[in-house]
Structure 1
Amino acid sequence: MIPERNQLTPLEHRLRSGARHGLGRREGWAVEGAVFVVKQGWAALFGGLMLLVLLVTRLYPDGLALARNDLLVLLAALIQVAMLVSRLETPRELRVILLFHLVGTVMELFKTAVGSWAYPDGGVLRIGGVPLWSGFMYAAVGSYMVRVHRLFDLRFSGWPPLWLTSVVAVGAYVNFFTHHWLPDLRWPLVLAVAVVWGRAQMHVRVHRRVVRMPVLASFVLVAVVIWLAENVATFAGGWLYPNQQVAWDMVHAGKISSWFLLMTLSVVLVTWVYPPRGPDAEPSVDAKPGTDADVSRPAGTRGGTAAASPTR
């Protein structure tokens, strides 16, 4: 077991363990849904703060000594430091988040060079046409994925071999570059993702229940959310696509497929920190047997508290 998985703040522990505090034993799906939304929002804290910073600085004046792009770099770095100091992220997780940062920055350098999108001018904290804060948007995705593992105590069944997922993920990443000169393999890669992860199921500890969902469904949902966040970021003038240069327009829905493919690389990177655990893995160290936090029983077994019984 990886110790960092259980390094929760008191609030996170309460979110994950499903503390009673005024609630009866038989909460309905409304409570489960509310807890799910709260946990998801808390897991996406980094990304949410980055979007807030972009919106707040949308009307930042030009001509100031500190350019908006440089201010965004400083604020993004401050958010990252605060996440570490408050133990919302662990040093081990930071390594994979920094890898997200690096992988994203490399793609940004290439994509801006070929004109796929562009950042506003200004600032000295940049590499070529890419301000350094852009990498933090990818880091925010990594932050969400490592934190959601802890908050939802994620378990998996039917997970494909690591070497196979790595081949598909690397293929998806390389295609983001090569499709500018070679045939675009986007849809064959989408099919490959569907085949490789088709049997994989995610066991999600919400509040009192463990629910199952196809891993592919989570890929689609996260891709849609990132696409919506991208619309907010471009509206705030963080970067612009060619069709947004004259007036802002929604990001083309086709970008959802791009984020869907990028999810494969994200998942593989996160498995370096949190290797997928089966539903019958040993309990987390902060879960006490016989309590609502004890959700480590194999899905589908009988016995124990009602909170541990899985629903479909």
Structure 2
Amino acid sequence: MSWKWGKQLLLFGYEEAMSCVFPACIFLSLALLKIAPLPGMPAYDWMLVICIAVQIIMVRAGLETIDELKVICVFHLIGLALELYKVHMGSWDYPQPGWTKIGGVPLYSGFMYASVASYICQAWRRLHIRLDRWPSSVWTVTLGAAIYLNFMTHHFIPDLRWLLAALLFVVFFRTALYFKVGDIVYRMPLTLGFALVGFFIWIAENIGTWLGAWRYPHQQNGWSMVSWSKFSSWFLLVIVSFIIVAQLKHVKGLRPKKNAADTSMRH
């Protein structure tokens, strides 16, 4: 029995590691550029080149599909828009110089959000994720939009994250996530999955700030651990990311049915 569960754990670890190829490449590149800076361009610009190259390689190697690349591009734009706003409001900054910086934000930063989408898409495919009792789009889209807007509006009105978190548990109370490892299917409450991914992103954020990817105000005089309160931000951001991917998967899943209906009507 122990060997069976050990084998399952190794297989799950392998699938998770393969799902993290893109974010792993980002952190590895940040580490290498910190240890041995490349000549010719600032580190932020090298990161942009590396991120684009990794995406091309992943698609060419079959590690990522064209549909997944489209989702990642959407997340890059959404993340870049959020970065421009948050840097403008002084939430954090990018202290190093760069040629490809707009409004103080290096263009590669959008890929850090895209790497979250890449992980979700890869894990969805590799672990054969299936959702049970997914709420109506009216609730999921509205909640996702409200969470995203709260990242911006809390600078002017009270922060509603805890209210939104409470609504999250109400909306997804009955939703379960099923994933497959080998021949065994496992079940997990969806909110627990959100929390686990958010926690590991918080750990990655500590690594990223230590590597100089960006810097919070309390890190101006030297690196210190990212506030535990940021976990709630990542927890909510994971929800937005997951909702977008799930809705796109839902829309794509409807296409064959529509085509089949059109074919039957033509006949």
Structure 1 residue corresponding to 2:130, chosen from 123, 140, 155? 155
**Residue pair 1:92, 1:273 contacting (<8 A) in 2 also:** no
Q: Does 1:142 align with 2:109?
A: no
Aligned to 1:58: 34
**One-letter code aligned to 1:240:** R
Query: How far did residue 277 of structure 1 move?
Result: 11
**One-letter code aligned to 2:244:** L
Q: Does 1:95 align with 2:70?
A: yes
Equivalences for 1:185-264 in 2 at 5 Å? Answer: 185-264=160-239
**One-letter code aligned to 1:58:** K
**Residue pair 1:164, 1:196 contacting (<8 A) in 2 also:** yes
Q: Does 1:121 align with 2:96?
A: yes
* CA distance in structure 2 between the aligned counterparts of 1:38 and 1:98, rounded to whole angstroms: 26
**Residue pair 1:156, 1:276 contacting (<8 A) in 2 also:** no
- Where 1:117 maps in the other structure, the secondary structure is coil
**Residue pair 1:231, 1:250 contacting (<8 A) in 2 also:** yes
- Where 1:204 maps in the other structure, the secondary structure is strand
- Where 1:28 maps in the other structure, the secondary structure is helix
Aligned to 2:16: 40
CA RMSD, aligned part only?
2.0
- Where 2:250 maps in the other structure, the secondary structure is coil
* CA distance in structure 1 between the aligned counterparts of 2:184 and 2:171, rounded to whole angstroms: 28
- Where 2:248 maps in the other structure, the secondary structure is coil
* CA distance in structure 2 between the aligned counterparts of 1:276 and 1:158, rounded to whole angstroms: 16
Q: Deviations over 1:185-213 (max 9, x none)?
A: 01000001111111111111012311101
Query: How far did residue 59 of structure 1 move?
Result: 3.7
Taking only the aligned residue pairs, the percentage that are identical comes to 38
* CA distance in structure 1 between the aligned counterparts of 2:235 and 2:56, rounded to whole angstroms: 29
Query: How far did residue 126 of structure 1 move?
Result: 1.7
Structure 1 runs not aligned, ≥5 long: 1-24, 279-312
* CA distance in structure 2 between the aligned counterparts of 1:276 and 1:147, rounded to whole angstroms: 18
Compared with structure 1, are the counterparts of its residues 165 and 272 closer, same or farther at alpha carbon in structure 2 (3 Å cutoff)? closer
Query: How far did residue 167 of structure 1 move?
Result: 0.4
Q: Deviations over 1:29-86 (max 9, x none)?
A: 1111111111111101100110100111114559x53111111111111111111111
Aligned to 2:6: 30
- Where 1:250 maps in the other structure, the secondary structure is coil
Aligned to 2:146: 171
Q: Deviations over 1:89-145 (max 9, x none)?
A: 111121111111001000000111111111023121121200011011011011111
**Residue pair 1:190, 1:261 contacting (<8 A) in 2 also:** yes
* CA distance in structure 2 between the aligned counterparts of 1:225 and 1:92, rounded to whole angstroms: 25
* TM-score (normalizing by structure 1): 0.77
- Where 1:249 maps in the other structure, the secondary structure is coil
* CA distance in structure 2 between the aligned counterparts of 1:273 and 1:181, rounded to whole angstroms: 32
Compared with structure 1, are the counterparts of its residues 26 and 234 closer, same or farther at alpha carbon in structure 2 (3 Å cutoff)? closer
Aligned to 1:265: 240
* CA distance in structure 2 between the aligned counterparts of 1:82 and 1:61, rounded to whole angstroms: 23
* TM-score (normalizing by structure 2): 0.90
Q: Deviations over 1:272-304 (max 9, x none)?
A: 4322999xxxxxxxxxxxxxxxxxxxxxxxxxx
* CA distance in structure 2 between the aligned counterparts of 1:66 and 1:189, rounded to whole angstroms: 42
**One-letter code aligned to 2:102:** I
